[in-house]
Structure 1
Amino acid sequence: MTAVEQTRHLATAIPGPNSSALIDRKAAAVSRGVGTTMPVYAARAGGGIVEDVDGNRLIDLGSGIAVTTIGNAAPRVAAAVAAQAGEFTHTCFMVTPYEQYVAVCEHLNRLTPGTGDKRSALFNTGSEAVENAIKIARSYTRKQAVVAFDHAYHGRTNLTMALTAKSMPYKHGFGPFAPEIYRAPLSYPFRDAEFGKELATDGELAARRAISVIDKQVGADNLAAVIIEPIQGEGGFIVPAPGFLATLLAWCRDNDVVFIADEVQTGFARTGAMFACEHEGIEPDLIVTAKGIAGGLPLSAVTGRAEIMDAPHVSGLGGTYGGNPVACAAALATIETIEAEGLVARAAAIETLMKDRLHRLQADDDRIGDVRGRGAMIAVELVKSGGTEPDAELTKALCAAAHAEGVIVLSCGTYGNVLRFLPPLAISDDLLHEGLDVLEAALRHLS
Structure 2
Amino acid sequence: MSTAITTAGPKIRTKLPGPNAQRVLEGDARIISPSYTRSYPLVAKRGHGVVIEDVDGNEFFDFSSGIAVTSTGHCHPEVVAAIQKQAGELIHMSGTDFYYESMITLGDRLSKIAPMKGPHRVYYGNSGAEAIECALKLARYHTKRQHIIAFYGAFHGRTMGALSLTASKPQQHRRFSPLVPGVTHIPYPNLYRRPEGTDANEYAVSVARFLEEKVFTTDIAPEEVAAIFVEAIQGEGGYLPAPPAFMQELRKICDKHGILLVCDEVQSGCGRTGKWWAVEHTGVEPDMITIAKGIASGMPLSVCLTKAEIMDWVPGSHASTFGGNPVAIAAALATLDVLEREGVKNAETVGKHIMNRISKWPEKMPLVGDVRGHGLMLGVEFVSDKKTKRPAGELRDAVVDLAFEKGILYLGAGPNTLRIAPALIVTKEEADIALDILEECILNVAALHEKGKKAGEEVGS
- TM-score, normalised with respect to structure 1: 0.95
1:87 and 2:117 equivalent? no
Residue identity in the other structure for 1:242:
P
Aligned to 2:355: 355
Note closer, same or farther for the CA distance 1:211–1:375 as it changes in structure 2 (3 Å cut): farther
**Corresponding residue SS for 2:46:** strand
Residue identity in the other structure for 2:424:
L
Q: Which of 64, 67, 70 in structure 2 is aligned with 1:68?
A: 70
For 2:141 and 2:126, how far apart are their aligned partners in 1? 21
For 1:220 and 1:439, how far apart are their aligned partners in 2? 47
More displaced 10-residue stretch of structure 1: 198-207 or 210-219: 198-207
Residue identity in the other structure for 1:352:
K
Q: Deviations along 1:136-195, whole A, 9 cap, x unmatched? A: 11111100100001111100011111111123432222222110000111111111234x
Aligned to 2:198: 197
* C-alpha displacement of 1:360: 2.5
Q: Deviations along 1:189-240, whole A, 9 cap, x unmatched? A: 111234x422566432332134323313222111000000011001101112
* C-alpha displacement of 1:301: 0.6
Residue identity in the other structure for 2:296:
A
Aligned to 1:418: 417
Residue identity in the other structure for 2:408:
V
* C-alpha displacement of 1:359: 2.1
Residues 271, 374 of structure 1: 8 Å contact kept:
yes
1:261 and 2:263 equivalent? yes
Residue identity in the other structure for 2:340:
E
Aligned to 1:308: 310
Residue identity in the other structure for 1:343:
G
Aligned to 2:380: 380
1:442 and 2:444 equivalent? no
1:368 and 2:371 equivalent? no
Note closer, same or farther for the CA distance 1:19–1:211 as it changes in structure 2 (3 Å cut): farther
Aligned to 1:153: 155
Residues 239, 419 of structure 2: 8 Å contact kept:
yes
Residues 79, 335 of structure 2: 8 Å contact kept:
yes
Instruction: Tell me how large the CA RMSD over aligned residues is.
Output: 1.5
Residue identity in the other structure for 1:313:
V
Q: Deviations along 1:280-339, whole A, 9 cap, x unmatched? A: 121110010000011110100111111101x21122121111111100110111111111
For 1:389 and 1:380, how far apart are their aligned partners in 2? 14
For 1:171 and 1:436, how far apart are their aligned partners in 2? 35
1:10 and 2:12 equivalent? yes
**Corresponding residue SS for 1:227:** strand
Q: Which of 299, 302, 308 in structure 1 is aligned with 2:301?
A: 299
Aligned to 1:389: 390
Residues 369, 386 of structure 2: 8 Å contact kept:
no
Residue identity in the other structure for 1:406:
G
**Corresponding residue SS for 1:243:** helix
Q: Deviations along 1:386-428, whole A, 9 cap, x unmatched? A: 4201011111111111111111000011xx2101111011222
Residue identity in the other structure for 1:301:
V
More displaced 10-residue stretch of structure 1: 33-42 or 275-284: 33-42
Q: Which runs of 5+ in 2 are unaligned?
A: 447-461
Note closer, same or farther for the CA distance 1:335–1:112 as it changes in structure 2 (3 Å cut): same
Aligned to 1:144: 146
Note closer, same or farther for the CA distance 1:3–1:302 as it changes in structure 2 (3 Å cut): farther
Residues 192, 200 of structure 1: 8 Å contact kept:
no
Aligned to 2:455: none
For 1:435 and 1:211, how far apart are their aligned partners in 2? 45
Q: Which of 242, 245, 262 in structure 1 is aligned with 2:244?
A: 242
* C-alpha displacement of 1:14: 1.5
1:289 and 2:288 equivalent? no
Where do 1:399-414 residues align within 5 Å? Answer: 399-413=400-414
Residue identity in the other structure for 1:166:
S
For 1:444 and 1:201, how far apart are their aligned partners in 2? 36
Residues 243, 282 of structure 2: 8 Å contact kept:
no
**Corresponding residue SS for 1:304:** strand
Residues 155, 237 of structure 2: 8 Å contact kept:
yes
Residues 42, 53 of structure 1: 8 Å contact kept:
yes
> Percent identity at matched positions?
36
Aligned to 1:325: 326
Q: Which of 231, 234, 240 in structure 2 is aligned with 1:232?
A: 234
* C-alpha displacement of 1:385: 2.4
Aligned to 1:218: 220
* C-alpha displacement of 1:28: 1.0
**Corresponding residue SS for 1:170:** helix
Q: Deviations along 1:341-375, whole A, 9 cap, x unmatched? A: x2211111122121122123322135211100000
More displaced 10-residue stretch of structure 1: 343-352 or 78-87: 343-352
Residues 3, 46 of structure 1: 8 Å contact kept:
no
Note closer, same or farther for the CA distance 1:213–1:154 as it changes in structure 2 (3 Å cut): farther
For 1:226 and 1:333, how far apart are their aligned partners in 2? 32
Residues 117, 307 of structure 2: 8 Å contact kept:
no
Residue identity in the other structure for 1:77:
V
Residue identity in the other structure for 2:384:
K
Note closer, same or farther for the CA distance 1:28–1:139 as it changes in structure 2 (3 Å cut): same
**Corresponding residue SS for 1:383:** strand
- TM-score, normalised with respect to structure 2: 0.93
Note closer, same or farther for the CA distance 1:213–1:249 as it changes in structure 2 (3 Å cut): same
Q: Which of 114, 129, 132 in structure 1 is aligned with 2:131?
A: 129
Residues 349, 375 of structure 2: 8 Å contact kept:
yes
**Corresponding residue SS for 2:298:** coil
For 2:140 and 2:114, how far apart are their aligned partners in 1? 22
Residue identity in the other structure for 1:312:
W
Residue identity in the other structure for 2:441:
A
**Corresponding residue SS for 1:25:** helix
